Structures are given as C-alpha cells and as structure tokens.
Amino acid sequence: MLALTLALAATAATPLALRVEVQALGKGSEATVMGVAIQIAPEDLKRAGERLRVLISLLQGGKSVDSGEAVVDLQPDGSAMLYREWPAGEGELRLTVERLDGTAGGGWSGKVVVPVVDKPFEPAPGSEPDALALAPSAPAKGVVHFKPAARSGGIEALELEVEVPDDTARVQFFQDGQLLFQRQRPPWTAAIALGQMPKRTTVRAVAYAKDGRFLGEDALVLNAASNQLPVEILLGPDAPTGQGRLVTVSVGGGRAVTEVVLRGDDRPLVRWTACPCVTTLSAKTLANTKVLSADATNADGLRGEAVQVLGTTGYQEAVKVEVVELPVTVLDHEGKLVTGLPRDAFRVFEDGVELPLEAFATTEELPLSLAIVVDTSGSMLEMFPEVRQAVAGFASRLLRPGDHYFLMTFSFEPKMRLEWNGDPQGLIGALERTIPEGGTSLYDAVVRALELFRGRRGRSALVLLSDGDDNTSRTPWDAALRYARTARVPIFTIGYGIGALDFFVKGRLKELAAATGAEVFSAPKKKGSLDDVYQRIDSELRAQYLLTYRSPSTKGPETFRTVRVEVKGEGLVARTIAGYYPSQ
C-alpha cells in the first residue's frame, strides 16, 4: 500500500490537500485490478464539495498504459475509491481532482508498483459500479458487425461488408441518417460514395428477420478526426417483451480496442476489452438513466467518447465531444526556440473564449508520429541523390525509441514506400529504389498522407519536400487545405529550388504550413542546403509542447473555429494552428 500527500498545484490558487493510497485487489481479465483510494483533507472538504471529477493516468517505461476520467461522490470523511486494471511493473501515477464547476482542484503524482496477483478479483457485494464493471463482458457473437474496411476513409468509393445473424432476411444501409438502399440476400455489402473531398461520414447497417423483428445494428465512421477514436452509441427499439433495449457501442480507428466502458450517468454499466460491444439494458436501468455515455481506448492509446441524452421515449440528442490537441512551439523576441516552460505558462482560447487545459506534455514525454513526404516528379531527378542523403540523415537524428514514421513519395500518384515503423535505416534503401519521373500531385499526397494519421494520438508532424507547383492532382487546393485544417497535423513544407518569382507556389506552401501551426522553408538546389533545413525542422520538433483541451463549441462542421495560444513571459510568442474545422 502506498500513501503520499499532495505535491502538485492544480486549478485553484490554493490546491486541495489530497491523500492517495493504491492497493492490489486481485487478478483481472488482462492485468492486476488496483484500488485507488483518494481522500480530501478535512479542512478542504467544504471547498471540494460533494462530487469531484478525477483524471487518472499511469506511465510505465515512459509510455501511458492507462488514462481515464470519472466523477466520484465523496464519503462524509472526504474519501472515494476508483478501480483500475494495470499491467505489472513500476510506474508513475498521476491524478488530478477538481470540482465539477472548476472552482477548486488539486493533484498528486508518485511512484507505484503493480504486483502480479494470482487470485482472481471478485468485487464484494454492494461494491461500486466500476468495481463490478471490471469483470469484462465477452465480445458479442452472432450480432451485426462491420468487417474491417480496406481503409478508414479518403475519397471516392469504398466497399463495406457487414456480418449479420443467421436469420437475417434484409439489411438496410444508411449514410449520415439517410437510407441508401436495402439488401435482401447476401453478400451484405454496400458501396459508399465518399466524394472528392474527405469528410466525416457515418454508415449504419440495420438487420431484420423475415417476420420484421429488429436483430441489431452497427455503425462505422469514415474520415474521422485523427486525434480521437470515433465512437457511436446505437440504441435499438424497445423489445416486444418489454425486457429492455439492445445497445451497441461502435468503435472505429482501425486498431483493436483495449477497453470500452458504457456508463449510465456516472455509473459504469458494462465493460469490454474487445468488440463487438453489444448488450441489453433493462427498462428499469434506462428509466433511471438520464445520460448514456461510452468511452473507448485502443492499442495506440487513442481515446474517444460518445454521449446519448435519454428521454422518456428514447434518446433525444447526441452530444459530440471534440478533444483538441494543439502542437505548440514557443519563440522569444529573437525568434529562438524556448523549451522548459510549465503548464501554467500557457492559456488557450477558442473563438476568443479561454478554455481550461485537460493535458500538457513536452517532447520528452510523448512519442512522435512522423510523415516524410517527398516529391519524386521528373524535375527532381538531377538532385535526388542529395535528397536521399538529407532525408535519411534527418530521420536518423530525430527519431528515438518509441517514435514511428512512414515514407511516401509522389509524382503522378502518391506511393507508400515504407509503412509505419520505427527503424530509420530503411529510408536509404527505399529511396534508392525510387526513380523520379512524371508530374506533381502535391495536393493528393497531402490528403493521402494525413489520412494515415487516423488512429494516432500525441505529437505528430508531416514534413513535405517539393520543387514545384501541383499540376496533376485530382484533389483541388481548397479541399486539401480544409482537410489539413481538420486533421490538425503540423505540415512543415520545404520549397526545393523554387525561384524567387514563383510567388504562387511559395504562397501555397506557406499557407499550408501556417494553417497547421508549422513553418515553411526554402532551399536552393545545391549540395548541403537540405541538411540545414532538415536540422532546423529537427530542432523545432524537439521543442514542441502538446496542449489538450475539450471544445464546448456547438458550431457545425462547415464553420471554422479559431484558436489562439498565449504564453507568459516577456517577448514570448506561441505558434500553433490558426484554427480548425470540427471532425463532425
């Protein structure tokens, strides 16, 4: 058992005094179930109130192995208990508490050791709901479930296939709530038109038996935001027997989920560690629940959530929570990079309204997801040996254990040369096998590369090298720029050998970088010039901060949300994205 006292300041000027105890409770389905007991000091009970929001995360080996949020009711002595499932080993626990109105809070961090336990965890009678939910439900069988798609979105047509129960007689396919068509025999497939501009869209399949009985449904979100898992809660019709309603939690993202939790108000109802995630909620449970929510985490640590507000005749509205991650670089009055700033040095504003930070991290704390995109049109042929050496050197210097990158080239079409991996040694060989020829489909390459960031979270960057204007893309400039603003991945652009009077090309590269909080660089086509540019980008990426907040905005997907970051310190300027389009 570990007992320590508050060491970190939080939202209030004087933080709440907080005590934390951690104890192993038994063997869970995947790891060790741990009880995390918190207690507010008696002198702070009045300021804390009756309910607190708790944010909890565990780092092991520098990587996040758990992160979550819960609202707890404090006991008269100021205590509350949370139940988590963690892998064995030593780690650092970080915990933050705050009143629901944000007027008081506190934090704690410390080392914890999670042991290997052989005895299975058994919640005691009357245990808290999150303890009961730690006995995970098995993935549902014989239900409606989309098979993995060939890709997670993009443009043009995409064929989807759905698995259904044996007694299915017909399947209806919907796109963004509109009925597309109905199939009355297998294969249960649908060709979905995604258009010429990547845009979030939701496809839903609903299965019925021959006698008209509802058998189930599933949803798949395409072109979702890259920084969070797409999660949907589907609430089926009332069962004829009055036994409740079928609830499906659909999770996208392309990677296996590690945890999905369905909650009624603040109470965990069901927990899964694999999908399909389907359950039946009783009429009594639904009658006593105002809000259904679901949160999910996948193998990459990416999170997502969905909310349904319930009424007497079913759900009334869906609430979309936009989690915004801002890559931020800070410069002093001389334009030099500034590192080592604390969390409280930053203030974030969306559409002019200041919003609280949910998370803060620096380069040392988060791995990097890097896209290296290189123009291989015919005009690059003469200087391509120089490009090979510069790109390979850049990756070797920058990438650290835990970082991942991919290599894409483009001429007439974007081509994937190396899939996501962590070994930069393969770059030289991949580029050696590439012979520059053809046109320049720069906008297509930007969209295709950004699409590959779906399902990845944390620090990210796209480094784009090109020597000329786009002349063969199918994607128009406006669509590519909008997609970049939606993906929110910094795009560092390098104009290679672009003439001083090529204002149009330079303007496009500059706008792409500025819109995503990055920088545009120029390099003449001569030996050594690219090394200098890539070293400067290396320095910028090593000096990044990552700020995370939740947007309360209800603006629609066609309305741009402006973002501004202010930083304390004389002459300091924060550079980040100018704003973004919401993911839905």
Average pLDDT over residues 508-536: 90
Together in a domain, 415 and 387: yes
Q: Residue range 505-519: average pLDDT? A: 92
The verdict on 80 and 195 lying in the same domain is: no
pLDDT on residue 321:
56
Cis omega (within 30 of 0) on the bond before 414?
no
Contacts of 475 (CB under 8 A, 6+ apart): 155, 196, 197, 443, 444, 446, 447
pLDDT mean across residues, the chain: 84
Residues 525 and 390 in one domain: yes
Question: Domain check: are 217 and 336 in the same one?
Answer: no
Query: What is the per-residue pLDDT across 57-112, written as a single tens digit (0 to 9) for each?
Result: 999 998 888 877 777 889 999 999 888 889 999 999 999 999 877 788 999 999 99
Instruction: Tell me the CA distances in angstroms from 155 to 199, 244, 536, 551, one per residue in order.
Output: 8, 39, 34, 27
Q: Are 438 and 511 found together in one domain? A: yes
- Check whether 175 has a pLDDT greater than 80: yes
User: What is the mean predicted confidence (pLDDT) over 330-354?
Assistant: 93
CATH number at residue 23: 2.60.40.1930
Does residue 41 sit within a domain?
yes
Q: What is the pLDDT of residue 555?
A: 77
Does residue 441 fall inside a structural domain? yes
Q: Tokens at residue 96, please?
A: 């933050």
Asked if the structure places residue 136 within a domain, the reply is no
Each residue's pLDDT tens digit, 388-422: 999 999 998 888 887 889 999 999 999 999 998 98
Is the residue at 443 inside a domain? Answer: yes
Range of the domain at 503: 367-543
Q: How far apart are the first and last CA of the chain?
A: 45
- For residue range 248-297, list pLDDT tens digits in order: 999 987 678 888 888 887 667 888 888 899 988 888 778 777 778 888 88
Q: Based on the fold, state whether residues 272 and 157 are members of the same structural domain.
A: yes
Nearest Cα residue to 464 out of 475, 478, 479, 480: 480
E strands in 145-213 = 145-146, 157-163, 168-175, 178-183, 189-193, 201-209
User: Sheet containing 520-523: which strands, arranged edge to edge?
Assistant: 414-421, 404-410, 368-375, 459-466, 491-496, 520-523
Least confident range of 3-17, 33-47, 87-101, 541-555: 3-17
- 536, 416: one domain: yes
In the sheet where 561-567 sits, what is the strand order? 353-355, 346-350, 561-567, 579-580
Instruction: Specify the range with the lowest mean pLDDT, choosing from 10-14, 105-109, 141-145, 375-379.
Output: 10-14
For the segment 115-144, the average pLDDT, to the nearest whole number, is 74
**Domain termination residue (choose one: 265, 298, 320):** 320
Note the helical H segments in 452-491: 477-487
> Using 50, 70 and 90 to split pLDDT, how confident is the model at 364?
low
**How many structural domains are present in the chain?**
4
* Residues 532 and 398 occupy one common structural domain: yes
pTM (2 d.p.): 0.53
> For residues 373 and 410, is the Cβ–Cβ distance under 8 A?
yes
pLDDT at 479: 82
Task: List, for residues 153-162, the tens digit of each pLDDT value.
Answer: 666 778 899 9
Residue 315 has pLDDT above 50, yes or no: no
Contact status, residue 323 vs residue 550, Cβ threshold 8 Å: yes
Q: Do 330 and 316 share a domain, yes or no? A: no
Q: Does residue 274 lie within any of the structural domains?
A: yes
For residue 164, the model assigns a pLDDT of 94
Average pLDDT over residues 461-466: 95
Q: Which residues contact 75 (CB under 8 A, 6 or more apart)?
A: none
Query: What pLDDT, on the 0 to 100 scale, is given for residue 38?
Result: 93
pLDDT score, position 4: 37
CATH code at position 395 = 3.40.50.410
Q: Is residue 129 part of a domain?
A: no
C-alpha dist (Å) from residue 306 to 156, 298, 358, 390: 27, 15, 18, 44
Whether residues 273 and 405 share a domain: the answer is no
Does residue 135 belong to any structural domain of this protein?
A: no
Q: Within this chain, do residues 449 and 309 fall inside the same structural domain, yes or no?
A: no
Say whether both 181 and 200 belong to one domain: yes
Residue 365 CB neighbours (<10 A) = 15
* Residue that finishes a domain, picked among 285, 320, 355: 320
Asked if residue 133 is part of any domain, the answer here is no
Q: How far is the C-alpha of 197 from the C-alpha of 156, rounded, in Å? A: 8
Question: What's the CATH number where 196 sits?
Answer: 2.60.40.10
Task: Express each pLDDT in 415-437 by its tens digit.
Answer: 999 998 988 888 888 998 999 99
